[in-house]
Structure 1
Amino acid sequence: TLLLERAKELDLAIIGVSFHVGSGCTDPETFVQAISDARCVFDMAAELGFDMYLLDIGGGPVC
């Protein structure tokens, strides 16, 4: 919350959340938890007036 509040004070455009659970992660629950945490950040940002629209789950194609 402190980072979002500071971003608001600085009039920064916060557009979303980015995370990477780690290469080779095969546990779906890890992704569920990370997305849930991101949802919390989206909610906190909305309360401060940010209009976030991007969720970057990181990583790349699995070969």
Structure 2
Amino acid sequence: MTRQELDQALARLGLDVPAKERDEAVAVLPLLQQMLDRLRPSGGRDVAAEPAHVVKFPEA
């Protein structure tokens, strides 16, 4: 997200954010994107693949 895109988003939301905070937000956006890329790998991961979801208990 560029500074211009951030400014437009904040304007649509009606938020008045100081320029210094806008600059800080734009500076950390690449780091946030890297974190999201690690949490959500391309191709995704099926939640059903979690061991807690695939264990079947014997019927009583």
Same fold (TM over 0.5): no
Structure number with larger C-alpha Rg? 2
Q: Which of 1 and 2 has higher RCO (CA within 8 Å, sep 6+)?
A: 1
| Higher percent of residues as strand | 1
TM-score, normalised to structure 1, is 0.30
